[in-house]
Amino acid sequence: MPSSISDVSKFTPFVFLLKNKTVPRDPYLEIFQSEQSPVTPEFLPLLQHEYIDPPALKRVLESQDFIEKSGPIIITSQRAIEAVNTHLNDLHPAALKSLLNKSVYTVGPATYKVLSDAGFTDIRGGHDAGNGAVLAEIILKDLSLRPAQEEDAQPLRLVFFTGQTRRDIIPRRLAEAGVNLTEQVVYRTLPLDDIETRVKQRVIESVKAQQGGPQDLHYLVFFSPAETDSLVEALNEMEGEKNCYIVAIGPTTKEFLEKNNLPVDVMAEKPDAVHLLKGIIAHQAALKK
């Protein structure tokens, strides 16, 4: 955290978001650039995402097997949604209608909004499912309420669009319940080179650019423990010069940072853009007292 602040009323929060910007619309950018927001956001990506065989995904989405024989779909990652969304404008009309009308299960308000904006009409989970374990139980409850199938009918098959690396909470729980689930891997995640140097340089540059004049408050927002081990170590090494507050999107990330000797100054009450902004504004207000 900054070593001293004499008059925070002169400060404008400058927020570094350690995440890739979601396309075509990012909820954090929309909220942070709204008229009600006093902060200036900047994305500092830690990862790069690469789609896996897009033509194969398009063939799946247009296949009779997917259109006629598969039931609800599961998409818990914004990157998986983006991979599917890249095909919306060039799908056969019947395939597009089928896809958008399928029940789709997702985690959290951010992915819910991206799916809604894309035109999906039956989105489940979302605000009511903060993690994969909760979503799995919602899926099982919904399946239990479906009319019983004929004895010789094929069991309802769900399709899980996911990344190459994913937690197995949902597939494991559904498998335990005997659910017929197909996984379709649509993207892979790779770390960007030289993350530590890029982040350190950008933070130090921003702070030093204001020397000799009114300085803004700087916040560094962590969204996940993943891929941040080396970055946390680098930030600990520059403790005396980083001159910024540390923010966690939720309790899991907060616990990770503090276990690695990086005290957290702000934690969002809920893991979304609105509550993140509220947390930063509340922190700034507390500094004025």
CATH of the domain at 61: 3.40.50.10090
Whether residue 6 lies inside any domain: the answer is no
The contacts found for 110-115 with CB under 8 angstroms, 24 or more apart, are 110/22, 110/27, 110/78, 110/272, 110/273, 111/75, 111/76, 111/77, 111/78, 111/81, 113/27, 114/22, 114/25, 114/78, 114/81, 114/82, 114/85, 115/75, 115/81
Asked if the model's pLDDT at residue 148 lies above 80, the reply is: no
Question: Are residues 28 and 125 located together in one domain of the fold?
Answer: no
Domain count, the chain: 2
Question: Are residues 141 and 200 located together in one domain of the fold?
Answer: no
Domain end residue (candidates: 134, 155, 190): 190
Whether residue 3 lies inside any domain: the answer is no
Question: Are residues 130 and 119 located together in one domain of the fold?
Answer: yes
Can you point out the beta strands (E) in the chain? 14-18, 40-43, 47-51, 70-75, 103-107, 122-126, 157-163, 180-191, 218-222, 245-248, 266-267
Question: Are residues 181 and 201 located together in one domain of the fold?
Answer: no
Whether residue 84 lies inside any domain: the answer is yes
Rounded to an integer, the average pLDDT of 120-126 is 95
From 8-17, 27-36, 187-196, 249-258, the region with the lowest mean pLDDT: 8-17
Question: Are residues 158 and 246 located together in one domain of the fold?
Answer: no
The pLDDT of residue 146: 82
Asked if the model's pLDDT at residue 214 lies above 50, the reply is: no
Joined tokens for residue 267:
């934690």
Reduce the DSSP state of residue 212 to 3 states and report it. coil
Question: Are residues 136 and 77 located together in one domain of the fold?
Answer: yes
Rounded to an integer, the average pLDDT of 112-117 is 91
The pLDDT of residue 277: 93
Domain end residue (candidates: 166, 190, 214): 190
Question: Are residues 54 and 178 located together in one domain of the fold?
Answer: yes
The pLDDT of residue 39: 87
Domain end residue (candidates: 164, 190, 216): 190
Whether residue 75 lies inside any domain: the answer is yes
- Residue located via tokens 């570094």: 16
Percent over 90 (pLDDT), the chain: 49
Question: Are residues 63 and 177 located together in one domain of the fold?
Answer: yes
Whether residue 238 lies inside any domain: the answer is yes
Question: Are residues 32 and 65 located together in one domain of the fold?
Answer: no
Rounded to an integer, the average pLDDT of 173-177 is 95
Q: What is the pTM of this model?
A: 0.69
The pLDDT of residue 5: 38
Torsion over CA: 39, 79, 61, 53 (sign): positive
Q: What letters, b where the CB count within 10 A reaches 16 and e where it falls short, cover 132-157?
A: beebbebbeeebeeeeeeeeeeeeee
Q: Which domain holds residue 145?
A: 50-190
Which residue type, as a one-letter code, is found at position 69? K
Whether residue 9 lies inside any domain: the answer is no
Whether residue 1 lies inside any domain: the answer is no
pLDDT tens profile 237-284: 765 555 688 999 988 889 999 998 889 999 999 888 999 999 999 998
Question: Are residues 244 and 174 located together in one domain of the fold?
Answer: no
Are the CB atoms for 265 and 13 separated by under 8 Å?
Answer: no
pLDDT tens profile 156-170: 899 999 998 877 899
- Of the candidates 197, 193, 198, 191, which has an alpha carbon nearest to the alpha carbon of residue 44? 198
pLDDT tens profile 215-244: 567 899 998 887 677 788 777 776 555 568
Give 234's Cβ-side CA count (13 Å radius).
15
Whether residue 5 lies inside any domain: the answer is no
Question: Are residues 93 and 174 located together in one domain of the fold?
Answer: yes
Are the CB atoms for 276 and 247 separated by under 8 Å?
Answer: yes
pLDDT tens profile 65-82: 999 999 999 999 888 999
Question: Are residues 170 and 93 located together in one domain of the fold?
Answer: yes
Q: How many residues does the chain have?
A: 289
Asked if the model's pLDDT at residue 64 lies above 90, the reply is: yes
